[in-house]
Chains A and B, each alone.
Chain A
Amino acid sequence: MKERLGGAVNQLPLFLGLVLLWAALWGRFSWLNLVTGAVFAAIVSVVFYLPAVQLSGRVNLWRSAWLFGKLLWDIGRASVNVAWLAVGPGYTPTNAIIAVHLRTRSDLILTWTAVATSIVPGSIVVDIERVDSTLFLHVINMHDTSETDRFRASVLATERRIVMAFGSHEDVERVSRVQNEEERLGITPGEPPEYTNGAPS
């Protein structure tokens, strides 16, 4: 019983999100809308039951604002870049499918990073390896390893911003620790471990 109660408390933010969405779609935050929203949210969460999401229970508003601001800026900048590739003269496509080894072990952060990377034009998630949190991204307009390394670093920076905004305490600690270790050992950030030990098999 206590476990179920804890589960319900953990799911409360998602439930409130559904109620808010209902009111937002109607465009009015009247009591009637909130009550009908709560009824529909309850029906939806019972009928379309999904396994509980592990929320981290930590939100940093400033970091979240920075995350979304940077994301909007990236979308704008990259949209213009990709649009120019499509319109401008003399484009010869060279692309790359890049594996990015993320630092987190949380499914939620992995999903957020995948969506945040994918929403920025120029990169598409082709596959995800959940076991070691690796994203396989198809990236447009890549020519050599210095560009792919820079792209990898930018995905890791996005992950870091997401973890700082609403990751768990363990993830925040883990991201900083792995980053320090990589800097100390001089490893290129985000490369899958098997490539850093020697030649790719």
Chain B
Amino acid sequence: MSALWSDVVTAVLVLLAALMCLAAGLGLLRFPDVLTRLHSATKPQILGLMAVTLDIAVTNFSVGTLTLVLAIVLFQALTAPMAAHLVARAAYVTDHLRPDLLVLDELRDARG
């Protein structure tokens, strides 16, 4: 029974993670410009990564895996926004954006 239970947990969580990665890949192809693509390239896998690591922590539970999983998620959560920010800023400053997709651009207003 407990083997079945852990199989069900694994199936659900890993499938969720795979779906998130699929969505990220599709978004990369379908979204039109750098800034929009960044949303799909950097973000949905945070949930996917959480799901995979949660599965590992639940099915092979020990203090060691739990602390390692927490460290992995923490650092991924701290570094992914930085990477996205650097690319977004570089794209904005070098004019790699499509103003026609923006309903509002207050950064342009602020820079004058």
Where the two chains meet, the residues of A that have a C-beta atom closer than 8 Å to any C-beta of B are 21, 23-29, 75-76, 78-79, 82-87, 91, 93-99, 114-115, 118-122, 124-127, 129, 134, 136, 138, 140, 142-145, 148, 192, 195, 200-201
Contacts and interface: CB of A to CB of B under 8 A. Distances in A.
B20 A93 contact: no
Nearest to A81: B44
A105 to B, nearest CB: 18
Contacts of B62: 27
Contact of A121 (B22, B31, B43, B68): B43
Contact of B67 (A24, A86, A118): A24
B61 to A, nearest CB: 12
A121 B39 contact: yes
Contacts of A140: 36, 39
Contact of B23 (A76, A86, A122, A125): A86
Given A79-B43, A122-B43, A192-B110, A93 B101 contact: yes
Chain A contact residues: helix, strand, loop or mixed: mixed
B11 interface: no
Contacts of B67: 23-25, 27
Given A82-B43, A201-B112, A99 B107 contact: yes
A29 B101 CA distance: 52
21 contacts: A27-B62, A27-B68, A78-B43, A79-B47, A82-B44, A84-B23, A86-B27, A86-B30, A87-B22, A87-B23, A95-B102, A97-B106, A115-B78, A124-B81, A124-B84, A125-B81, A126-B85, A126-B107, A127-B89, A144-B103, A148-B104
Contacts of A200: 109
Interface of B: 19-20, 22-24, 26-27, 30-32, 35-36, 38-40, 42-44, 46-47, 50, 62-65, 67-68, 70-71, 77-78, 80-81, 84-85, 88-89, 92, 101-110, 112
Contacts, number: 151
B77 A119 contact: yes
Contacts of B106: 97-99, 136, 192, 195
Given A127-B107, A200-B109, A75 B35 contact: no
B49 to A, nearest CB: 11
A126 B89 contact: yes
B89 A114 contact: no
A27 B65 contact: yes
B71 A24 contact: yes
A92 to B, nearest CB: 9
A126 B31 contact: no
Contact of B102 (A97, A118, A120, A129): A97
B36 A118 contact: no
B103 A119 contact: no
